[in-house]
Amino acid sequence: MNFQDRYRFWSENSYFDEEIRQELGQVIEPQEIKDRFYTDLEFGTGGLRGIMAAGTNRMNKYVIRKVTQGLAECVCDQGPEGMKRGVVIAYDSRKYSPEFALEAALILARNGVKAYLFDALRPTPELSFAVRQLHALAGIVVTASHNPKAYNGYKLYWEDGGQVPPEHADQILARIKAREDWIGLEPMPLEAAKASGLLEIIGEEIDQLYLAQVLELALHPELDREKGGELRIIYTPLHGAGNILVRRALAELGFSSVTVVPEQELPDQEFTTVPYPNPEIPATFELARKYGTQIQADLLLATDPDADRLGVVLRDPQGDFTQLTGNQIGVLLTYYILSQKKALGILPGNATIIKTVASTDLADEVARYFHVRVENVLTGFKFIAEKEKEMEESGWGTFQFGFEESYGYLAGDFVRDKDAVIASVLLAEAAIYYQQVEGRNLFNVLESIYQQFGYYLEDQESLTLEGIQGKEEMAKIMDSLRQEEIRELGGTKIKKFDDYEQRIGKDSSTGLTYPLTLPRSNVLRFSFHGGGFVMVRPSGTEPKIKFYFSIKSNTLSEAEDTLHKIKADVMRRIARIRSV
């Protein structure tokens, strides 16, 4: 069927409910009809994400049914044992998230696959934990993470608690594509699913097991219990799934002086208090800053709707609030974990941290100082989780901490995705340790790290290039940067150039090449003499090309000046490439 036939089919067939058909009756613009029906919503390696509306290229319960049917068939391929192990399902606070989650559970039940459904919204990392804890074959989280309110998504996890591997994603996609007919995908009735044992509601029992593991990560639990109440924390879940478990984790560890931003405490499908619920942007901290000023808070924390990302604001020496970057949070946690484990005599000889190639090299310097190995992986937390699994299975390294610059962090071996609950606990513990034992705050600690290793300054730029023309422009930019022999950027000499698409690196001084071992990916990285880099890559989820800047200098002002020059040079080059 072409898009017009699909539109008519959805508009007229009684299989689709009245709400869907009425919505489509209001859609009269040909371009809008085409956009909704010209294709199916793309199923990527991690699942789906799209605008909630009627149509094959939108997020709605019928798309959920079709995708879940593909998953169910792949689970059934594993035989009775796989069907019995089943699938765990969690969801966030977005519009239709509970309904989509239940729809998925009942489609699984219809296929004879056991479904474990959380009784209320839960953090994405707890889903990862639950898959491992229940020995399930797969997991689903209905979430669009930190995206605007119009979006929802469907993330798939596999039996190790990590995001679904490409080979299984391909099998699921093949099953989805093989089904042309939307009719006949009826979910099992709720009561029948419960009565048959194919639907099991889970909740508090998993919470307790998960929290017990989170609290085990504390390095100074006695200090936390005795002095944690002296740390004044403002926390906002941004209307999302972190509200209960972040607060419980902090309270059970001893952090009793936690004030929750009341306007952002409860679920709100419209996210009315923020432009969009992303803890990276300063606007999400406006209310937290207000309450922080009132109580002279030491630390402001914000988690996104599915509680896998953490944003942090610190009080600086002048008494003002300063928001940290994802790189700064990652470095602080790296330094705290490694330094304390070394002091306690529990840092293993094969200790390893894992970070992405887009994240600051300052973490590499900190790790080397503590004689800890660093594994750099491609952008995306799934690569951190995959490397952790590889280390665990081979025994050649002991995972200590992992992070990416986009506000994702992980410690421990019981979750296989970024975890804002874990990060909140470790950040709070680091803050109380330095305050009570060393008489410093985290801002002072970060400054001392810069003084010891050099001032690293990071920034990002992105260009939105939509449609077919946008894809062509991105390809043109990447090809030009790949082919041009760039010796310096903004007056700073380049030491080496790594092309992850070709899997070849080149030393700019000698011209010698060397192999890159990471998987093939359309990423270019220019590393500078003396430290720092520029990295360029097209986004895998948005119509954007992203530019990552990391500068190392002896002083902050020098770093700022160098960053300004390099950014200006890069963006001039990009403008020139686009104009040709």
Q: Beta strand pairing status for 115-118 and 87-91? A: parallel
Residue 442: which of 320, 341, 329, 302 has the closest Cα?
329
Residue 575: partners with Cβ closer than 8 Å, 6 or more residues away: none
Residue 205 CA, distance from chain mean position: 25
Query: What residues are paired with 464 via a beta bridge?
Result: 544
Classify 283 as helix, strand or coil.
Answer: helix
- Token code pair at residue 354: 């894992």
Dihedral sign of CA atoms 416, 421, 425, 430 in order = positive
| Residue that has been written with the tokens 């200790």 in this structure | 351
Backbone Cα Rg of the chain: 24
145 catalytically annotated: yes
List strand residue ranges (DSSP E) for 467-511, in order. Answer: 488-489, 492-499, 504-507
Helix axes 442-453, 326-344, angle to 10 degrees: 90
CA distance 321 to 301: 12
Q: Sheet harboring 233-236: ordered strands across?
A: 258-260, 233-236, 299-303, 310-315, 321-323
Q: Determine the straight-line distance between the first and last CA of the chain, rounded to whole angstroms.
A: 40
Burial class (CB in 10 A: 0-12, 13-18, 19+), 485: exposed
Catalytic residue among 145, 339, 424, 550: 145
CA distance 212 to 222: 16
Question: Looking at the annotation, which residues are catalytic?
Answer: 145
